[in-house]
């Protein structure tokens, strides 16, 4: 979360904030006015920028008009708009959408994202029962005219922003239309908070625009309160409540058949510098574990070809080429998107990527939900609270380097009782996070009309 009329507070229930009036949104805040003017002046150049991104696969060339706020197809009845920038945010919204859909059968959903990958995975993982109630659009660029076109077309009854998407024109234009807004699963690093603190009036306008602010941790909530979200609370991380990652039956059967009875070590969502260390651990282990297969699943699959060159001294295969691991394959580079659910299901132990290098670690609960024993490097600052619980409960093992990784992997892959105790403890921790979507849904419901509007209100289709 980095810097770039007034609805009443609820007398009881979830924490809430007063939203600013339309007049207070921009007036007297020079940086906001400057951003608004700069975005408007830049608008004529943005189509060229979008076209360039489309050529690089960063935008859908057939849907660029959505980035200008076009293409609204508002359904009748109450509409909730949820925005999550990328894959993690949009995927964490799925359990929340399911909880809200169950509580409000007439409610429809508009989900916006900023990346092509997030759009694709949302379509793939949206439960079939909800497909008719959920529409996806790419979020408009933060240009006043684009934002106005988007809001005028969709007319949401309430809006939910997930994690750290703070776009001034989008936020304030939504508030000016009287649309109640929530910021959920909010996170704000100390560094970002310092940046916002240098613009206190801007921070108050933007963070004070949200009626409901729910942070991941108490530290996040404290920083948000200092910046204007005066009643922000910490309820936990919505990503901890996600469903188990999927695995198509046919693909899983094919992978299992190719692997057979070989022991499998997975390095999941790895970052540069980790794969070499994992390959070194594999070399150490191969004498004690004949037939060991190590699967490398880079966080950014486009790195697959470069990894193949970097690890050329090993017998390897690339999944992106259509290859399955053969009997002699030592390293299997899983350079495809959205298939981690497959690899967790076939692995006997998994190193959670981003933790052997100073990145902060990826989500360990993805492995926990699929019964895969968890190994963690020393850098897990992105998931401090959950990692501390796991280590204390014996649900994960900490490793410092490739040598320690080899020792821990050998332990877990050869001692079934130890692996079983780890996965049991991890499953309990994962289950504890399961109630958060329902709790958030109850809070968000207070922002919506009590019943579908009967005419003339915000978000109502004309008769």
Which pLDDT does position 77 carry in this prediction?
95
pLDDT block averages, 10 residues each, the chain of length 463? 40 36 54 94 96 95 97 97 89 92 96 93 91 96 98 98 92 97 94 94 95 94 96 90 90 98 98 98 96 97 96 96 97 96 98 97 95 98 91 98 98 98 95 86 95 45 34
Which pLDDT does position 25 carry in this prediction?
53
pTM: 0.72
Count other C-beta atoms under 10 Å from residue 170's C-beta: 24
Which pLDDT does position 22 carry in this prediction?
37
- 176 assigned to active site: no
Q: Any idea which architecture 22-236 has in CATH? A: 3-Layer(aba) Sandwich (3.40)
Domain chopping of the chain, boundaries: 22-236, 249-434
Q: Which CATH superfamily is domain 249-434 in?
A: Glycogen Phosphorylase B; (3.40.50.2000)
Which pLDDT does position 258 carry in this prediction?
98
- Nearest CA to 137 out of 75, 82, 98, 76 is that of 82
Q: Which ranges of 303-450 would DSSP assign to H, the alpha helix?
A: 304-310, 340-346, 365-369, 384-393, 402-414, 416-432, 436-445
Query: Is the CB of residue 425 less than 8 Å from the CB of residue 199?
Result: no
Residue from 89, 98, 163, 445 carrying the catalytic annotation: 89
d(CA 370, CA 366): 7
d(CA 302, CA 319): 12
d(CA 163, CA 184): 6
Order the strands of the 293-298 sheet from edge to edge.
Answer: 316-318, 331-333, 293-298, 264-270, 349-352, 374-376, 396-398
Query: Is the CB of residue 259 less than 8 Å from the CB of residue 338?
Result: no
Domains 22-236 and 249-434 equal at CATH topology level = yes
Which pLDDT does position 451 carry in this prediction?
62
């Amino acid at each position: 979360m980095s810097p770039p009329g007034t609805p009443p507070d609820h007398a009881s229930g979830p924490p809430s904030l007063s939203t600013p009036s339309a007049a207070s949104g921009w007036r007297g805040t020079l940086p906001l006015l400057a951003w608004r003017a700069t975005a408007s002046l830049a608008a004529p150049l943005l189509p060229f920028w979008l076209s360039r991104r489309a050529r690089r696969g960063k935008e859908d060339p057939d849907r660029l008009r959505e980035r200008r706020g076009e293409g609204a197809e508002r359904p009748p009845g109450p509409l909730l708009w949820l925005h999550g920038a990328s894959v993690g945010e949009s995927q964490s919204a799925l359990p929340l959408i399911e909880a809200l859909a169950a509580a409000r059968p007439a409610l429809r959903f508009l989900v916006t994202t900023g990346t092509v990958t997030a759009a694709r995975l949302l379509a793939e993982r949206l439960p079939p029962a909800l497909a008719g109630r959920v529409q996806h659009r790419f979020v408009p660029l933060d240009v006043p005219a684009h934002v106005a076109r988007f809001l005028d077309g969709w007319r949401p009854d309430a809006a939910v922003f997930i994690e750290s998407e703070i776009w001034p024109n989008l936020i304030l234009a939504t508030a000016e239309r009287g649309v109640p807004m929530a910021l959920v699963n909010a996170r704000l690093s100390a560094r970002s908070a310092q940046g916002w603190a240098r613009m206190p009036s801007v921070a108050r306008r933007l963070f004070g625009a949200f009626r409901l602010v729910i942070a991941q941790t108490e530290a996040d909530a404290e920083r948000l309160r200092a910046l204007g979200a005066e009643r922000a609370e910490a309820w936990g991380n919505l990503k901890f409540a996600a469903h188990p990652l999927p695995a198509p039956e046919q693909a899983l059967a094919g992978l299992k058949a190719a692997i057979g009875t070989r022991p499998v070590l997975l390095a999941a969502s790895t970052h540069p510098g980790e794969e070499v260390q994992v390959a070194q651990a594999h070399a150490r282990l191969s004498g004690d574990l004949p037939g060991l297969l190590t699967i490398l699943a880079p966080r950014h699959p486009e790195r697959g070809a470069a990894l193949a060159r970097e690890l050329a001294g090993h017998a390897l295969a690339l999944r992106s080429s259509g290859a399955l691991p053969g009997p002699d394959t030592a390293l299997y580079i899983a350079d495809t998107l959205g298939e981690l659910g497959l690899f967790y299901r076939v692995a006997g132990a998994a190193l959670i990527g981003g933790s052997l290098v100073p990145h902060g670690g990826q989500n360990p609960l993805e492995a926990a939900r699929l019964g895969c024993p968890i190994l963690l490097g020393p850098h897990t600052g992105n998931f401090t609270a959950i990692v501390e619980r796991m280590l204390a409960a014996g649900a994960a093992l900490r490793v410092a380097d490739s040598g320690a990784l080899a020792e821990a992997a050998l332990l877990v892959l050869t001692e079934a009782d130890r692996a079983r105790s780890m996965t049991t403890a991890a499953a309990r921790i994962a289950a504890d996070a399961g109630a958060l979507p329902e709790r958030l849904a109850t809070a968000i419901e207070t922002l919506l009309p009590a019943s579908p509007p009967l005419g003339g209100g915000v978000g109502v289709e004309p008769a």
